[in-house]
Amino acid sequence: MEHRTRDLLATALTWAREGRAVALATVVKTWGSAPRRPGAHMVIAEGGDFRGSVSGGCVEAAVIEEAHRVLRAGSPTTVEYGVANEEAWTVGLACGGTVRIRIEPVLGLEAVLEGVLAARDEGRAVVVATELAGPRRALLDPARDGDHAVLAGDPGPWPLEEAREALRSDRATTATDDIPPGVFLRPHNPPVRVVVVGAVHIAQPLAAMVALLGFTPIVVDPRTTFAARKRFPGAEVVTTWPGEAFEELALDARTAVVALSHDPKLDDPALISALSSPAFYVGALGSRRTHAGRIERLAEAGVPTDALGRIHAPIGLDIGARSPAEIAAAIAGQIVAALRKGALGLPPAFELADPPHAG
């Protein structure tokens, strides 16, 4: 999850600024059922401190030992760990999983890591490119071409089209065509936001659940009695009307909108704004009968028929949910499905906002 990745990279920089020798371990490839996907990080400091995970616990000790060797040598290395099927469950790499891990000193990578953190704070998409057979590293802005794409690190050349695809798919990958034996591309997209309209009972467990998923919960409700920050710890609470709030939030393709207030004065303006945006998910609470009336109102307001078809209603996966927490779980699951499986046939949730350009 991206917020945890940000914390790990921030920890690596903090330890390095304290004068400690620090290594960064990154999963670059997996086979079988290795529990962490490419791009997962672990930070190791001299003295034995570490944060993060590259395998769920089964090879961390070996990685820490290798990281200390890397810090003594001052140069990166790539290691591979795997187990036979009969040993898999004992050590945690189920089904004979294998994992390849890049381990490198943080010394010399500070500008790249600082750039990732800055981009995250500014809501910009970037990619970290790592030459697997050498020390070259760079921070890329794939929305730019040529030399303009390199924000920090080695000037290149770098596989920019593959970097763009890594951002679109939100998947780390290895590009091998241009620069053998490969360049590992680790995308860092802005966080997924879940905007919840209506600070109702269901909104409380939903905000907590989406935060656990690594998304950013934002609760919008002008009724300050409901939208009390103490009711939504860890969430951003906006107490303006949805139209004004959505204009400030600038809904993008990494935004989900969930209308829960059951009050047309709040839900309808929110849905009209959401349906005219590239939000990857739009859902609304209410029965089929309630939704039929909602559709009539939105159509009269000028919302096109194809846009109305984007609304998930009744909201949530059909799991027989009854309690507020169960309904929240059904909604959270449907948001993940839309994000990862491209529900409704929408464009990829991670399409770059602007075409590649120079300058």
Indicate if 96 and 169 belong to the same structural domain. no
Indicate if 23 and 145 belong to the same structural domain. no
Beta bridge partners of 217: 194
Confidence band, pLDDT 50/70/90 cuts, at residue 297:
very high
The pLDDT assigned to 190 comes to 87
Number of separate domains in the chain: 3
Instruction: State how far the Cα of 1 lies from the Cα of 254, in Å rounded to an integer.
Output: 14
The pLDDT assigned to 351 comes to 38
Q: Which domain holds residue 90?
A: 2-105
- Determine, yes or no, domain membership for 286: yes
Q: Compute CA distances 281 → 274, 276, 341, whole Å.
A: 9, 12, 12
Indicate if 75 and 164 belong to the same structural domain. no
Indicate if 51 and 123 belong to the same structural domain. no
Instruction: State how far the Cα of 336 lies from the Cα of 333, in Å rounded to an integer.
Output: 5
Indicate if 205 and 331 belong to the same structural domain. yes
Q: Which of 170, 188, 206 is the last residue of a domain?
A: 188
The pLDDT assigned to 141 comes to 94
The pLDDT assigned to 58 comes to 72
CATH code, domain with 314? 3.40.50.720
Which pTM was predicted? 0.74
- Determine, yes or no, domain membership for 351: no
Residue 35 has pLDDT above 90, yes or no: no
Q: Which of 132, 156, 188 is the last residue of a domain?
A: 188
The pLDDT assigned to 34 comes to 63
Indicate if 251 and 334 belong to the same structural domain. yes
Could you tell me if 105 and 111 are in contact, meaning their C-beta atoms sit under 8 angstroms apart?
Answer: no
Instruction: State how far the Cα of 202 lies from the Cα of 180, in Å rounded to an integer.
Output: 52
Confidence band, pLDDT 50/70/90 cuts, at residue 6:
confident
Indicate if 331 and 201 belong to the same structural domain. yes
The pLDDT assigned to 3 comes to 56
The pLDDT assigned to 226 comes to 94
| 77: nearest Cα among 65, 93, 95, 60 | 65
Question: Rounded mean pLDDT of 205-225?
Answer: 95
Instruction: State how far the Cα of 55 lies from the Cα of 81, in Å rounded to an integer.
Output: 10
pLDDT tens per residue, range 85-124 = 444 455 455 555 788 899 999 999 999 999 999 998 888 8
Indicate if 206 and 182 belong to the same structural domain. no
Neighbour-count burial of 314, counting CB atoms closer than 10 A to its CB (0-12 exposed, 13-18 middle, 19+ buried): middle
Q: Which of 145, 172, 188 is the last residue of a domain?
A: 188
Instruction: State how far the Cα of 334 lies from the Cα of 342, in Å rounded to an integer.
Output: 11
Indicate if 224 and 178 belong to the same structural domain. no
Beta bridge partners of 101: 27, 79
| 314: nearest Cα among 280, 292, 285, 282 | 285
Question: Rounded mean pLDDT of 141-167?
Answer: 90
**What whole-number percentage of the chain has pLDDT above 70?**
87
Q: Compute CA distances 128 → 48, 151, 183, whole Å.
A: 26, 10, 10
- Determine, yes or no, domain membership for 220: yes
* Cβ atoms < 10 Å from Cβ of 209: 19
